[in-house]
Amino acid sequence: MMELGQKTSLSALEGMGFRVGQALGERLPRELPAFREELDALKFLCKDLWAALFQKQMDSLRTNHQGTYVLQDNSFPLLVRMASGVQYVDEAPKFLAFPCGLLRGALSTLGIRSLVTASVTTLPACKFQVVIQKS
């Protein structure tokens, strides 16, 4: 079970990621036309935002067409060095609080409220689940 201090630290990291994501969400899409649909905004995150941050695009984007999206990165740069041992799978989610905030912050700037969570089953791959919150 996660300690209160660790939970607070992860929340702080997610908050920092959110603020960075907001700033990137304001700057990066300037040259692009306004996004008409949620899916266009998610494609922007997977291609342009991810490439700007990690020099690579997300590997896949899936949706249930009901406001839930799964973004998968098969070799997430922040997890690559941990991929040498199975023992690190439990530690990996700590490294995903900041990128979850990044995605949520960028979407917020684009006018989309969301809840973003991440999971790791095999290193260095990870999945980000984005649930769009309707007003």
Contacts of 43 (CB under 8 A, 6+ apart): 61
What pLDDT is attached to residue 32? 65
Q: Tell me how many domains the chain contains.
A: 1
The Cα-based distances of 53 to 47, 98, 103 in angstroms read: 10, 12, 11
- Render pLDDT for 71-127 as a digit per residue (tens, 0 to 9): 999 999 989 888 777 777 778 878 899 999 999 999 999 999 999 999 998 889 999
Cα–Cα distance, 33 to 124 (Å, whole number): 33
String of DSSP letters for 56-67:
S--SEEEE-SSS
* Torsion angle of the four alpha carbons 94, 108, 68, 42, in this order, in degrees rounded to the nearest 10: -90
Say whether pTM exceeds 0.85.
yes
Domain extent at residue 61: 4-132
- Render pLDDT for 6-43 as a digit per residue (tens, 0 to 9): 778 889 999 999 999 999 988 887 766 677 889 999 99
Sheet holding 126-132, edge to edge: 60-63, 68-73, 126-132, 114-119
- Render pLDDT for 53-70 as a digit per residue (tens, 0 to 9): 999 999 999 999 899 999
Contacts of 127 (CB under 8 A, 6+ apart): 70, 71, 72, 73, 118, 119, 120
Q: What's the CATH number where 76 sits?
A: 3.30.1380.20
